[in-house]
Amino acid sequence: MELKAYQHKVLNDLREYLSYVQEHKKLDKAFNQYWEDKIGPYDPLNNTGMQPYKNTIPNAANVCMKVPTAGGKTFLAVNALRTIFDAFDPRKPKAVVWLVPWSNLLDQTVNNLSNPDHPYRQKLNALFHHRVQVYQKRELLNASNFNPTVVAEQLSIIVMSFSSLRSKKKEDRKAYQENGSLAPFVAQYADTSHLLEDIDETALINVIRSLNPVLVVDESHNAESDLSVDMLRNLNPSFVLDLTATPKNNSNIISLVPAIELKKEHMVKLPVIVYNHHDKTEVVNSALHLRYKLEQLAIAQRAEGGKYIRPIVLFQAQPRTGEENTTFDKLKAQLISLGIPEEEIKIKTAEKDELKGIDLMSESCPVRFIITINALKEGWDCPFAYILASLADKSSAVDVEQILGRVLRQPYVMKHASPLLNISYVLTASMKFHDTLQNIVKGLQASGFSDKDYRKKDLTSEESRAKATNQSLEGFLFPEQQEIPSEESLDANRIALPTDTDVTNESMGIVQGIIGEIEEIAIEQNKEMEAAVSQQLSSPIDPHIYSEMGEKVRTYGIRSSLKESVADVRLPQFHIQIPNNPLFEMGGSTLLNQESLLSNFKLSKYDTLLDFDQIQAELYKVDIQESKKDEYTPSFTKIEDLVVKEPMMEYILAKPKEKQIKDIVYQLNEMIGNLYPIPEQEIKLYITRILESMNTDQLRDILARRLVYSEKIKAKIKSHADAYAEEKFNDLITVGKIETIASWKYPERIVPGKVGPSISKSLYEAEGSMNGFEVKVMTAISSLPNVSYWHRNLGRGKGFAINGFKSNHYPDFIIGTNSGKTILLETKGDDRDNSDSEAKARLGQKWAELAGKDFLYMMVFDQKEVKGAFSFDKAKDLIRQM
């Protein structure tokens, strides 16, 4: 099970946010700056930008991922744990409290995270070296394989329900009671400041608090009450990750996934076709025939080698207070009387669960119809559910929002041959169809979608709708005169089973006409959505932000006077040939990246010569003022004191040297993190080679200052990788395997985030922010008579990158001249010279060499002369002559 493109984007957003926390050391400042750089500062008057950070849980970063239903929130959380713990000091225990709102979701989560054959557990094992343990509360209370030593060496995931922590039931309050089985943890308490008042130090809640856990809050919109927030605070978290399709007002959103992203990846059946009938009998008739039609398409697809699909109808029955079972049983009996086999019909209510133990995805399962009201509202994920048929009273607005999300998941996460198998269907019979549509929109919104994701058709007449409105008004004014309507029965004479021949031509003709119309609407609307997907794929503006935030994102277009002059401008990028693969576009080539150049890189062939003599000077100096804790200071960032004294250090150094090295390698590797595509095992062997020549004092020093040593080793590894990639890059250019292709064009609109000063001849209505030297450079260059325009190139995936042996290099400016030349300008203050600058200069020069005579790359310093670069005055003089 691999991450989808939008899921990678979400994790990159999380990683980027954590880098802001590391840089700013303040949760509010990090969050606010993160969004300011993306979309600009918050402006409450114009309602633009992201609202400031809400500090709901002091000292814990509390962030939210907004992902629609069926978007793979659990799999995202599994992968996010590695990203989060990479930001932690590795001495902290990797403890996670995974909170879920319902008992059925708790069982499902425990099973999926524990089962070694499930993709979630397989991913956890891969990310955490098979050192993973999943606990439930009862196992913790009994200290079953739960002790300080075990917790220190693994990822510990504690799955709990909201109710078990905020309930007043005696059974659920055991977490707050004295527990001698957990006494070993008390000896590990560094201090007792975490202890809850009047709660014994051995109580499970205090043990959890001592671990300063990461909280994963599934369906976090169910944890917004004051009681729920207190529950989260009581766990003393270091980090809170909210997962929901519908964030609440106090959520700190760091990533948003629009519904169309799920459609791109074939994870949902969109759009939703909503068809309103005259009465309940028509709804049942249409549901039977539409389901049959879909199954015939699925059978034909299977015969051609496709996947097995057995479409299911969800019948949403009319709720009857106090007699629900009678209503459901009666509906089931009515369906059976029509000739539907009993084994194909199951009831799922709060009181009656005929689905228990049934695998709906099995080819041997006969179930094709499920009767419910809202017992399937969440935590039920069968992608074979295609049709939601509501049998509510026709005089009422149909309350479908609770279970609409149950028909949205796409079978096998793939596009199917028939368009009708890629769409969801809602069949209703409501005279108050407008109100019903509002409920459908609510249901879509509750699943993270919008009113753009459904299409409607209403068979009822204006006269009948007006009559229903008058009846409702009379019922409100004169309730004592109203009779309670008897439950409507199905008219079997008007229902034509798909395999029946003994029905009137009129009945068959009506249902065939309705199904034909539904099919026509579905195919047409599917085409429209596919076109929207294609259009968005070509948009350079981040769809995750723009689609979700709309007018809150300040965008700026190309100045009208310059649109024509840049319409045909295309900047070349490096492409690498793909052998023996005619499927690739652009003549069998694809965009080059550093990872492809490192495919044969072997770290074992490179030296381990590092200069540790200057290590003392490179230690992180923790400012006394910044080290004081306040409610906005994160408790998890990698800040180390000058000397670290801990029992674990002595424990490691007491072992034989071979085991000392193994333990230290593990810790350093954790801090170095992922260096894809370099295999983790090669990194471990490289660190081992470094440590093998060290004595005990040196190993002790590494344990005391792991962050500095790990950073130095990481830099050395990257320098080896960069050198190899550059050599490989030059070799491939020499033999003609890498070429430049003019493929990048100016986007129609940009999202610069924070806006820079207004300088003449800018390409866009507003440009991105600039430092003092950049303003000086561009003010001077824009005044040159031969300069047509300039653009502040945006980084972080927004603008143009020179791809190659370096990870994407985004030059600061793009300049166009009247003669048609394009200049990429990278500015460097005189204090910014380093080996990375030289490598970027070499890459830029190679790009200009292969791009052609109309393209130039210049790295500019103020006064300093650096190999491959220009002084400011020299650059300005050269540009004047172009």
The pLDDT, as a whole number, for residue 502 is 47
Q: Is 705 exposed, middle or buried (0-12, 13-18, 19+ CB in 10 A)?
A: buried
> Cis (ω within 30 of 0) for the bond into 366?
no
Cβ-proximal residues to 589 (8 Å cutoff; 6+ apart), any chain: 575, 576, 577, 578, 739, 741
The residue whose two tokens read 């209703």 is: 428
Phi, psi of 66 (to 5 degrees): -90, 110
Hey, how many other C-beta atoms are within 10 angstroms of the C-beta on 838?
Answer: 15
Cα–Cα distance, 714 to 837 (Å, whole number)? 19
Q: Are the C-beta atoms of residues 575 and 586 closer than 8 Å to each other?
A: yes
Q: How far is CA 810 from the centre of its chain?
A: 25
Please check whether the two domains, 5-257 and 556-570+745-880, share a CATH topology.
Answer: no
Q: 33 and 24 in contact (C-beta within 8 Å)? A: yes
Quickly count: other Cβ atoms within 10 Å of residue 450's Cβ.
16
What's the pLDDT score for residue 341?
92
* Alpha carbons 347 and 403: distance in angstroms, whole number: 15
Please give the Cα distance from 672 to 721 (Å, whole number).
15
Query: Would you state the pLDDT for residue 849?
Result: 92
- Taking the chain (882 residues) in consecutive chunks of 10 residues, what is each chunk's mean pLDDT? 83 90 90 89 84 88 86 90 84 89 83 93 90 91 89 91 68 80 85 85 91 87 66 90 83 85 81 81 88 92 92 80 61 86 88 85 93 64 86 60 74 87 84 61 59 59 47 44 52 74 56 77 76 60 57 85 91 84 55 88 88 54 43 68 54 82 84 83 92 85 80 90 92 91 89 88 93 92 94 88 87 94 88 71 92 92 77 90 90
User: What per-residue confidence (pLDDT) applies to 250?
Assistant: 80
- H helices present in 211-353, as ranges: 226-234, 259-264, 280-303, 324-337
Tokens of 778: 């561009």
CB atoms within 10 A of CB 784: 18
Q: How many CB atoms lie within 10 A of CB 459?
A: 15
What is the phi/psi pair of residue 500, to 5°? -75, 150
3-state DSSP assignment of residue 345: strand
Residue 161 token pair: 């329900």
Give the three-class secondary structure for 711.
helix
Q: Which two tokens stand for residue 253?
A: 């959103």
| pLDDT recorded at residue 459 | 58
Q: Which one-letter DSSP state was computed for residue 600?
A: T
Among the listed residues 688, 674, 711, 599, the one whose alpha carbon sits nearest the alpha carbon of residue 126: 674
The full DSSP string for 830-842 is: TT---HHHHHHHH
Listed residue (386, 390, 406, 410) closest to 398, CA to CA: 390
Angle at 753 between CA 748 and CA 755, to 5 degrees: 90
**Inter-CA distances, 661 with 93, 226, 470, 689, 752, Å:** 20, 48, 83, 10, 47
The reported pLDDT for the residue numbered 647 is 58
Question: What CATH architecture is 5-257?
Answer: 3-Layer(aba) Sandwich (3.40)
Residue 816: what pLDDT?
94
C-beta of residue 784 within 8 angstroms of C-beta of residue 759: no
Residue with tokens 């062939």: 605
Evaluate whether 846 touches 880 at the Cβ level (below 8 Å): no
CATH topology of domain 556-570+745-880: Trna Endonuclease; Chain: A, domain 1 (3.40.1350)
pLDDT value for 283: 86
Angstrom distance (rounded) from CA 857 to CA 841: 8
Q: Would you identify the CATH topology of the domain 261-534?
A: Rossmann fold (3.40.50)
- pTM recorded for the entire structure: 0.75
State how far the alpha carbon of 201 is from the alpha carbons of 17, 205, 365, in Å.
35, 9, 51
**Spatial distance between the Cα atoms of 738 and 850, rounded to a whole number of angstroms:** 10
For residues 155 and 133, what is the distance between their CA atoms, to the nearest angstrom?
A: 6
Query: Which residue bears the tokens 């003994």?
Result: 502
Q: Identify the bridge partners of residue 825 per DSSP, sorted by sequence position.
A: 813, 858
* CA atoms lying within 13 Å on the CB side of residue 176: 17
pLDDT at 453: 58
CA distance linking residue 683 with residue 695, whole number of Å: 21
Q: Which of 541, 104, 133, 453 is nearest to 269 (CA)?
A: 453
pLDDT number for residue 638: 60
CB environment 265-284: b (16+ within 10 A), e (fewer): bbbbbbbbbbbbbebbbbbb
Each domain of the chain, given as residue ranges in start order, spans: 5-257, 261-534, 556-570+745-880, 603-731
Whole-angstrom Cα distance, residue 868 to residue 849?
A: 13
Give the helix, strand, coil percentages of the chain, each rounded to 5.
45, 15, 40
Per the structure block, which two tokens stand in for 427? 């069949």
The token pair that represents 857 in the structure block: 């790359």
Q: Is 390 exposed, middle or buried (0-12, 13-18, 19+ CB in 10 A)?
A: buried
Please give the Cα distance from 334 to 318 (Å, whole number). Answer: 14
Torsion from C-alpha of 213, 219, 222, 226, nearest 10 degrees: 30
CA atoms of 545 and 253, how far apart (whole Å): 11
Cα four-point dihedral sign 406, 411, 412, 415: negative
Phi, psi of 688, deg, nearest 5: -60, -40
DSSP state of 197: T
C-alpha to C-alpha distances, 807 to 326, 674, 715, 734, nearest whole angstrom: 66, 15, 14, 21
Predicted local distance difference test score (pLDDT) of residue 92: 83
Considering just the CA atoms, what is the radius of gyration of the chain in Å? 32
Whole-number Å distance between alpha carbons of 196 and 673: 35
Decide: 450 and 408 in contact? Cβ < 8 Å.
Answer: no
Instruction: Determine the pLDDT at residue 763.
Output: 95
Shortest CA distance to 181 belongs to which of 214, 137, 215? 137
Spatial distance between the Cα atoms of 451 and 444, rounded to a whole number of angstroms: 7
CA distances (Å), origin 10, targets 16, 500, 514, 545, 672: 10, 51, 41, 11, 22
Question: In a 3-state reduction of DSSP, which class is residue 610?
Answer: coil
Note the pLDDT of residue 848: 93
